[in-house]
Amino acid sequence: MKSERFKIGWEKLKEVDGSAGENVVKSLKDIAPDFADLLIEFPFGDVYSRKELDLKSREIATIAALTAMGNASPQLKVHIQAGLNVGLTKKEIVEIIMQMSVYSGFPSALNGLFAAKEVFENEKK
């Protein structure tokens, strides 16, 4: 039986990441099903469900961090979509990524913008 944290996490995951989050969980089922549980319980059940910060601010932080790290392109795309899901505009997302040119350099910002371009184009379909 799944824990209360799991249930809270699962609802939060669906609210934030939508179907992309569910797909990540599914794709873990045959390789590391326990990790799917941890992914729901810790990031979403423990962290994103805390009241100290609204979801819009959380997604600004995550989009900025993943752009700056520059080595997590699939997760960046999930969170650009998540940003749209929780109410960030495309202009705001583009602006956050542009700002990373100052902190992690132009290549990280460029690759972030191309990730956004891909997500925004899928949105339209």
Q: Where do contacts with its own copies occur on this chain (CB under 8 A)?
A: 24, 27-28, 30-32, 34-35, 38-39, 41-43, 46-48, 50, 52-53, 57-58, 60-72, 74-75, 91-92, 94-111, 113-114, 116-117, 120
**116 close to 79: Cβ distance less than 8 angstroms:** no
Smallest distance, its own copies to C-beta of residue 114, A: 7
Closer CB to its own copies, 8 or 113, in the complex: 113
Minimum gap (Å) between residue 71 Cβ and its own copies: 4
Angstrom distance (rounded) from CA 54 to CA 37: 24
Taking the complex as a whole, the smallest distance from the CB of residue 19 to its own copies amounts, in Å, to: 17
Residues 6+ apart with CB under 8 A from 73: 111, 115
Q: Which helix (H) or strand (E) holds 22?
A: helix 4-28
- Least separation in angstroms between residue 20's CB and its own copies is 12
Instruction: Give 50's DSSP letter.
Output: -
